[in-house]
């Protein structure tokens, strides 16, 4: 049968089967099993109403259990077995094998980089876009244009950015935008200004921001009076902030002393370490619109009075933004951050389409795909899937905890 | 917020400029691909796409028409006249008649070719070549010209990628396959989730809170975990790799978000309506179909867009559950990644293929942005 016809038939059968199931099961419940007439009418209606929710829920519970619940258990089991030995139980051998592979550690390092850079950059750009477009007449148009990449597939976006990163030999015209700009720099004062001074200033500002945030978070710990858990979290964030500042200072030193090969076109995706950032740009480009939409709604939800009071007290726009608005939307920022973190943990298409993990750009999801379908090693593949699951689980727990709190 | 005293006008300008910069930065990548898909392979490889937006200067060699057929007598002299570019819209700045000196005349000049033979070339390419019987013979006079050509775009790439049946890289089949995957994979989860969401929102039963918590938890389970067990399952029960398998998989993976979105929306519907209907002895099934479903349209639309975009743009699930060794069931995203491997430098093919797959989601996005935004706001776990 032609696939389109098959699709149409499936839609009709699927949808009418669903509707039919719900209709007839309800009919059966009310008319045959527990008829709402006769001697036991009252008791039967009660009984029917006890059963009915499960009729409504049954297909969903079945599908969720089979397609999301069962795989978690099964993957855990598979990660402890070896396919080539007929699924014999091998304990943690798959994990040991995985931990011994440099490619796995490369994927872990890159995933950590992605986890720090992409949510931070997307949220920051999203917040900036939300704040800026809030005030102007054509803000909605600007928003929908920044939001547009959300509709573009990761694969499509990869093609788009591969064109930007394209490299031609030195004697030909550069058709990739990045190289076309790059070969304009000849090493004069402007080059130093744009490629060294400007990045240093930006990284320095980033480091200063991190230092300030770290100080704000850590300050209450000095005065004491909070629980051990909170204290530990504060110390941990301060340590992370110190680490980020250290990284920033290191890169400032690196940029200041670098000898840039001016004039030569570069194959950007093959430059180790930095190519990760070129891949991250794709996801940041996509996710900024998402962050902007949510944060923009949050900014509009801030009570006017708080801002008016700040204006009367003589606060300047920057103070209003950082000290009045941002603190009030911290919960929303956290939501955006964690949602993007989830996307990052599962990022596969971009790496697969652009580098396929070559030139030290491997990430966990692509590593797993490699193991599954190229190496045909289901044991290690499952083990790496479990690693992704472990990384996701804190967010899972946090979400469930929040949802329960909201409902009770 | 407009009332920040004093600094308003300069600040407003700064805001406008920053927003313009940001919008341009966010648009340029897509525009680059879009423009490239309308250029020929030759144009793409010789200049960047941004150059094609402006008139380009190029050196061309043209030849006057064949004198034996086209010359007309003018006294004892003969004249061949016509247009060097057959009427194409190009503008000559400088020209010459020898490859060693291509820029010695400006447009409108008359070149002396010796012994009374002359050629005059106008800026628009019109020429008049005159000389005696011997001179105006053989092959037409060559003209080397530096011309400014207007931007030139073509639909040939789309024609080739969509309608050329012998083109093995063509996207027509993949487009169709993607559509076949997407529509059932969008509709089926909506039906299942709507009933479940109604039960979770408006029916009272033990374990409801636990089920909701489960749904919230399953929202974030990475689908990477599901790949191997479900592929094994599908192969084991005989579904194998194919459309049925991917429809089921997308249904399963889409359900948590569907239930979550729809339940959150349905909970907010006014209680009075439902209780009144119950008093009028409507069954739950009737309430659901006649009252809840129509009222929940915005939430249904939000989820439909999400699921449509997600299934249309998906690569991983299709690679695992659909695409078999025959390659007959390839979807567009997979076709593009294949092309990236085999046609890495052929940007006219890649750009066109990518834009064919991007076009539909973009259209949906701009048409139904309102619902998408609403869905995003409702779907982010707070």
Q: What pLDDT is stored for residue B5 in this prediction?
A: 46
Q: What pLDDT is stored for residue A25 in this prediction?
A: 83
Q: Where among A70, A97, A122 does a domain terminate?
A: A70
Q: Which residues of A touch B229 (CB under 8 A)?
A: 70-71, 74-75, 78
Is there a single domain that holds both residue A407 and residue A280? yes
Q: What pLDDT is stored for residue A1 in this prediction?
A: 54
Alpha carbon separation from B210 to B190, B205, B213 (Å, rounded): 22, 11, 5
Centre a 10 Å sphere on the Cβ of residue B297 and count the other Cβ atoms it contains. 11
Domain contains A174: no
Do residue A59 and residue B192 have CB atoms under 8 angstroms apart?
yes
Grade residue A224 by pLDDT with cuts at 50, 70 and 90: low
The tens digit of pLDDT for each residue in B187-218 reads: 889 988 998 998 888 888 888 888 888 888 88
Tell me the nearest-neighbour CA distance from B342 into chain A, angstroms: 12
Is there a single domain that holds both residue A115 and residue A25? no
Mean pLDDT across A16-31? 81
Domain contains A195: no
Q: Say if residues A133 and A347 touch (Cβ distance below 8 Å).
A: no
Mean pLDDT across B104-109? 83
Is there a single domain that holds both residue A278 and residue A391? yes
Grade residue A3 by pLDDT with cuts at 50, 70 and 90: low
Is there a single domain that holds both residue A393 and residue A363? yes
B:329-358 residues touching chain A, CB 8 A cutoff:
329, 333, 336-337, 340, 347, 350-351, 353-355, 357-358
Query: What's the distance, CA A217 to chain centroid?
Result: 24
* Residue B213 phi, psi (nearest 5): -60, -40
Domain contains A213: no
Grade residue A395 by pLDDT with cuts at 50, 70 and 90: confident
Strand pairing report for B110-112 and B142-149: unpaired
Domain contains A234: no
Asked which of B47-61, B236-250, B311-325 is least confident by mean pLDDT, the reply is B47-61
Q: Domain B159-379 belongs to what architecture?
A: Orthogonal Bundle (1.10)
Mean pLDDT across B260-269? 87
Centre a 10 Å sphere on the Cβ of residue B35 and count the other Cβ atoms it contains. 19
Q: Which one is predicted more confidently, B36 or B380?
A: B36
Domain contains A333: yes
pLDDT > 70? residue B252: yes
Is there a single domain that holds both residue A283 and residue A364? yes
Which of B49, B184, B222 has its CB closest to that of A14?
B184
- ipTM score assigned to the predicted complex: 0.82
- State the total domains in chain A: 2
Is there a single domain that holds both residue A393 and residue A312? yes
Do residue B205 and residue A53 have CB atoms under 8 angstroms apart?
yes
Domain contains A208: no
- Residue B42: closest C-alpha in chain A: A175
Q: Which two tokens stand for residue B17?
A: 């400029």
Strand pairing report for B126-131 and B142-149: unpaired
Q: Which two tokens stand for residue A407?
A: 């409902």
A117 Cβ contact partners less than 8 Å away, ≥ 6 residues apart: A277, A280, A284
- Say what the pTM is: 0.83
Tell me the nearest-neighbour CA distance from B339 into chain A, angstroms: 10
Range of the domain at A53: 3-70
Interface residue A273 vs chain B (CB under 8 A): no
- Mean pLDDT score across all residues of chain B: 83
Q: Say if residues A173 and B48 touch (Cβ distance below 8 Å).
A: yes
- Mean pLDDT score across all residues of chain A: 83
The tens digit of pLDDT for each residue in A327-352 reads: 888 888 988 888 899 889 888 889 98
Interface residue A139 vs chain B (CB under 8 A): yes
Q: Say if residues A151 and A139 touch (Cβ distance below 8 Å).
A: no
Residue from B318, B268, B271, B353 nearest A162 by CA:
B353
Domain contains A375: yes
Q: What pLDDT is stored for residue A287 in this prediction?
A: 92
Q: What pLDDT is stored for residue B287 in this prediction?
A: 85
Is there a single domain that holds both residue A291 and residue A399? yes
Mean pLDDT across A97-125? 88
CA count, 13 A, side-chain hemisphere, B93: 10
Query: What's the distance, CA B261 to chain centroid?
Result: 29
Do residue B221 and residue A392 have CB atoms under 8 angstroms apart?
yes
Q: How far apart are the first and last CA of chain A?
A: 52
Alpha carbon separation from A84 to A369, A383, B339 (Å, rounded): 18, 15, 33
CB contacts < 8 A, A to B, total 349
Is there a single domain that holds both residue A326 and residue A365? yes
Q: Where among A48, A70, A92 does a domain terminate?
A: A70
Is there a single domain that holds both residue A379 and residue A401? yes
Q: Say if residues A88 and A341 touch (Cβ distance below 8 Å).
A: no
B201 Cβ contact partners less than 8 Å away, ≥ 6 residues apart: B263, B266, B267, B269
B:60-89 residues touching chain A, CB 8 A cutoff:
none
**Distance from C-alpha of B245 to C-alpha of B248, rounded to nearest angstrom:** 5
Do residue B315 and residue A352 have CB atoms under 8 angstroms apart?
yes
Which of B15, B244, B358 has its CB closest to that of A152?
B358
3-state secondary structure chain B: CCCCCCCHHHHHHHHHHHHHHHHHHHHHHHHHHHHHCCCCHHHHHHCCHHHHHCCEEEEEEEECCCHHHHCEEECCEEEEEEECCCCCCCEEEEEECECCECCCEECCCEEECCCCCEEEECCCCEEEEEECCCCCCCCCCEEEEEEEECCCCCCHHHHHHHHCCCCCCCCHHHHHHHHHHHHHHHHHHHHHHHHHHHHHHHCCCCCHHHHHHHHHHHHCCCCHHHHHHHHHHHHHHCCCCCHHHHHHHHHHHHHHHHHHHHHHHHHCCCHHHHHHHHHCCCCHHHHHHHHHHHHCHHHHHHHHHHHHHHHHHCCHHHHHHCCCCCCCCCCHHHHHHHHHHHCCCCHHHHHHHHHHHHHHHHHHHHHCHHHHHHHHHHHCCC
- Which CATH number fits the domain that encloses residue A390? 1.10.3720.10
pLDDT > 90? residue A102: no
Classify burial at A291, counting beta carbons within 10 Å of its beta carbon; exposed 0-12, middle 13-18, buried 19 or more. buried
Q: What pLDDT is stored for residue A31 in this prediction?
A: 77
Do residue A160 and residue B32 have CB atoms under 8 angstroms apart?
yes
The tens digit of pLDDT for each residue in A128-181 reads: 999 888 878 888 889 889 999 989 999 999 999 988 888 888 777 788 888 888
Q: What pLDDT is stored for residue A283 in this prediction?
A: 93
Q: Which two tokens stand for residue B57?
A: 């200067």
Domain contains A115: yes
Is there a single domain that holds both residue A142 and residue A51? no
**Distance from C-alpha of A252 to C-alpha of A271, rounded to nearest angstrom:** 19
Is there a single domain that holds both residue A373 and residue A318? yes
Domain ranges of chain B: 8-52, 55-149, 159-379
Give, as one character, the DSSP assignment of residue A218. H
Q: Say if residues B311 and B239 touch (Cβ distance below 8 Å).
A: no
Do residue B228 and residue A378 have CB atoms under 8 angstroms apart?
yes
The tens digit of pLDDT for each residue in A282-330 reads: 999 999 999 998 999 888 888 888 888 888 888 888 788 888 888 888 8
B contact test, residue of A47, A48, A71 with most B CBs within 10 A = A71
Is there a single domain that holds both residue A84 and residue A22? no
A contact test, residue of B44, B201, B222, B250 with most A CBs within 10 A = B222
pLDDT > 60? residue B6: no
The tens digit of pLDDT for each residue in A242-276 reads: 888 887 888 888 888 777 777 778 888 888 778 88
């Amino acid at each position: 049968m032609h696939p389109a016809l098959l699709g149409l038939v499936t839609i009709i059968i699927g949808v009418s089967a669903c509707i039919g199931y719900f209709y007839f099961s309800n009919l059966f419940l009310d008319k045959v099993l527990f008829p709402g007439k006769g001697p036991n009418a009252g008791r039967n209606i009660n009984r029917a109403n006890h059963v009915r929710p499960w009729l409504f829920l049954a297909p969903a519970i079945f599908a969720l259990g089979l397609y999301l619940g069962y795989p978690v258990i099964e993957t855990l089991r598979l990660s402890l077995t070896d396919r080539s030995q007929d699924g014999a139980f091998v304990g943690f051998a798959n994990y040991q094998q995985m931990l011994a592979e440099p490619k796995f550690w490369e994927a872990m390092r890159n995933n950590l980089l992605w986890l720090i850079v992409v949510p931070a950059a997307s949220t920051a750009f999203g917040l900036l876009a939300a704040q800026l477009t809030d005030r102007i007449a054509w803000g909605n148009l600007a928003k929908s244009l920044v939001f547009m990449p959300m509709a573009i597939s990761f694969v499509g976006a990869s093609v788009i950015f591969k064109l930007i990163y394209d490299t031609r030999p030195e004697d030909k015209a550069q058709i990739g935008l990045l190289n076309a700009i790059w070969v304009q720099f000849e090493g004069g004062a402007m080059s130093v200004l744009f490629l060294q001074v400007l990045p240093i200033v930006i990284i320095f500002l980033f480091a200063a921001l991190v230092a300030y945030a770290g100080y704000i978070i850590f300050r209450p710990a000095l005065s004491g009076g909070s629980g051990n858990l909170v204290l530990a979290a504060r110390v941990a964030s301060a340590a992370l902030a110190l680490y980020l500042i250290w990284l920033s200072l290191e890169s400032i030193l690196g940029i200041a002393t670098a000898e840039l090969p001016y004039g030569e076109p570069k194959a950007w995706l093959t430059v180790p370490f930095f190519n990760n950032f070129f891949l991250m740009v794709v996801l940041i480009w996509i996710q900024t619109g998402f962050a902007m939409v949510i944060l923009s709604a949050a900014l509009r939800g801030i009570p006017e009075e708080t801002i008016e009071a700040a204006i009367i007290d003589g606060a300047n726009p920057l103070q209003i933004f950082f000290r009045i608005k941002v603190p009030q939307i911290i919960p929303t920022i956290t939501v955006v951050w964690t949602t993007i973190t989830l996307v990052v943990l599962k990022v596969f298409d971009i790496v697969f389409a652009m580098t396929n993990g070559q030139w030290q750009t491997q990430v966990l999801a692509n590593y797993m795909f490699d193991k599954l379908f190229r190496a045909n090693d289901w044991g290690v593949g499952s083990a790496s899937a479990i690693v992704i699951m472990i990384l996701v689980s804190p967010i899972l727990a946090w979400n469930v905890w929040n949802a329960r709190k909201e409902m009770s | 917020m407009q009332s920040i005293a004093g600094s308003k006008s300069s600040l407003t300008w700064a805001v406008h400029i920053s927003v313009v910069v940001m919008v341009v930065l966010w648009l340029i990548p897509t525009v680059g691909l879009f423009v490239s898909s309308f250029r020929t392979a030759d144009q793409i490889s010789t200049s960047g796409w941004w150059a094609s937006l402006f008139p380009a200067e190029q050196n061309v060699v043209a030849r006057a028409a064949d004198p034996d057929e086209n010359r007309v007598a003018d006294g004892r002299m003969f004249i061949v006249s016509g247009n060097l570019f057959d009427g194409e819209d190009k503008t000559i700045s400088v020209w010459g008649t020898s490859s060693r000196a291509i820029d010695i005349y400006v447009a409108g000049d008359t070149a002396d070719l010796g012994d009374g033979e002359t050629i005059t070339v106008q800026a628009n390419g019109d020429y008049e070549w005159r000389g005696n019987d011997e001179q105006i013979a053989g092959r037409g006079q060559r003209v080397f010209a530096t011309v400014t050509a207007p931007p030139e775009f073509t639909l040939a790439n789309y024609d080739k990628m969509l309608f050329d049946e012998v083109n093995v890289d063509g996207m027509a089949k993949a487009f169709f396959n993607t559509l076949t995957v997407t529509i059932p994979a969008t509709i089926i989860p909506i039906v299942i989730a709507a009933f479940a969401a109604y039960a979770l929102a408006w029916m009272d039963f033990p374990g409801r809170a636990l089920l909701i918590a489960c749904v919230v938890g399953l929202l974030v389970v990475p689908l990477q975990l599901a790949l191997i067990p479900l592929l094994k399952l599908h192969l084991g029960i005989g579904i194998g790799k194919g459309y049925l398998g991917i429809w089921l998989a997308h249904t399963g993976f889409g359900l948590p978000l569907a239930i979550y979105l729809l339940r959150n929306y349905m909970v907010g519907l006014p209680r009075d309506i439902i209780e009144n209907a119950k008093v009028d002895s409507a069954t739950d099934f009737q309430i659901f179909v006649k009252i809840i479903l129509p009222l929940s349209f915005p939430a249904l639309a939000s989820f439909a867009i999400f699921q449509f975009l997600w299934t249309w743009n998906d690569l991983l699930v299709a690679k695992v559950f659909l695409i078999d060794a025959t390659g007959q069931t390839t979807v567009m995203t997979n076709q593009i990644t294949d092309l990236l491997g085999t046609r890495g430098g052929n940007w006219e093919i890649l750009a066109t293929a990518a834009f064919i797959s991007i076009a539909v989601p973009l259209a949906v996005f701009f048409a139904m942005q309102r619902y998408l935004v609403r869905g995003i706001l409702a779907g982010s776990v707070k």
